[in-house]
Amino acid sequence: MKKRVLIVTAGFGEGHNTAAKNIRAALLSENPDSEVLISDLYAVTNPRLNRMMQAGYRFAINRATTIWHTIYKAFDYPGAIESTLPLIAKMRDAFLRQIESFRPDAVVSTYPIYGFVKDEITKKGNAFTMPFFTMVTDSTLINSAWYRRPSTAFLVPDQPTKDCLLRKGVDEKIIHALGFPVALCFENLRPVLPDATPPWKVLIMPSTRRSVALRILTAVLARKDTTATIVAGRCQYVLDGLENSPFSKDPRCKILGWTDKMPELLAEHHLFIGKAGGATVQEAIAAQCPILISHVVPGQEEGNIALILQNQIGALANTNELMKNSLDLAFDHEAATWRNWKCNIAQHSRCDASRNIARFILTNC
């Protein structure tokens, strides 16, 4: 049966858009007759302001983390977001117009603000009769903005996140730990096995700071039994710095810019080093690649650190000393710690999460 699904998202961090895109792909794979629309209502209602807000967000999480942490914590208190609702009347109206024109059988939100916007629609006397599913893209330590407004169901990436919502009073019947929606290609990956031998292949995704990238490479290649693949992404500043560094001539180092092969790279490497972003961490788990965290954004990424440490699938390595010690911990003594991480992460891998989420949505809309 043909279904229409509206997915609302926002471009503040990669996790929200990644989740939206992967849910759409899974919905179309499960039901090719479906119509699935992804909409960023921030961009729809005020594109210029949205670009400015995204730039401010990127600056805050990379250069002014203390300020961002203060903002993030403020969102956790009831009344903080609610006090801004009069300012988002355009978003409310755009949301209502999309519902009236697209006529979805279900709405999926991958960003917490839309629960509040939905309530503003109903307060104006407009019926919101279709199911509203909230896809929580954070893990373990959850900002209350995600669940302060009702939802037909809260879809969460793992049991620790479900436990968090339960402790906060959310009804267990509407919390479903279906996994984080990673790309469908993760279903076909063949990760390296725990009985692997050196050289140890390390995949690095540095922050936007060139100095951080160079420090991580220095620590990795200081060991004689490692090789490094470093992905600069779309950050030309970092890529230029790497290509002009001595590492560009080191045969044990491969330098990449943007790539769409991250799932394959994660699966074929023994260890991943990068920031604690929600999508990044969940993709490493899906590919069964143990994780060292080199950079943490206070607030939303602290839960991802907790997830890694609680499940013993990696370590926090956000200083030079911790990076060196973590690499030694992982690979010394015949890589006993790495092998333990590898066995643990295989138990938490949910490479079919997007498909399970899609099936849940189609069944319940």
Q: pLDDT digits over 30-58, tens only?
A: 999 999 999 999 888 888 877 888 787 77
DSSP string of 279-346? HHHHHHHHTT--EEEEE--TTTTHHHHHHHHHTTSEEE--SHHHHHHHHHHHHHHHHHHHHHHHHHHH
Q: Given this model, what pLDDT does residue 250 score?
A: 95
Six token digits for residue 198: 């050196």
CA distances (Å), 283 to each of 58, 135, 295, 346, in order? 21, 16, 17, 12
pTM to 2 decimal places: 0.93
Q: pLDDT digits over 5-37, tens only?
A: 999 999 887 899 999 999 999 999 999 999 999
pLDDT of residue 68 exceeding 90: no
Percentage of the chain lying above the pLDDT 70 cut: 99
pLDDT of residue 80 exceeding 90: no
Q: pLDDT digits over 311-325, tens only?
A: 999 999 999 999 999
Q: Given this model, what pLDDT does residue 148 score?
A: 95
Contact yes or no for 263/189 (Cβ under 8 A): yes
Determine how many CB atoms are found less than 10 A away from the CB of residue 320.
12
Q: Given this model, what pLDDT does residue 281 score?
A: 96
Q: pLDDT digits over 157-179, tens only?
A: 999 999 999 999 999 999 999 99
Q: pLDDT digits over 228-243, tens only?
A: 999 998 889 899 999 9
Largest distance between two CA atoms of the chain: 67
Q: Given this model, what pLDDT does residue 53 score?
A: 80
pLDDT band at 85 (very low <50, low <70, confident <90, very high): confident
DSSP β-bridge partners for residue 253? 228
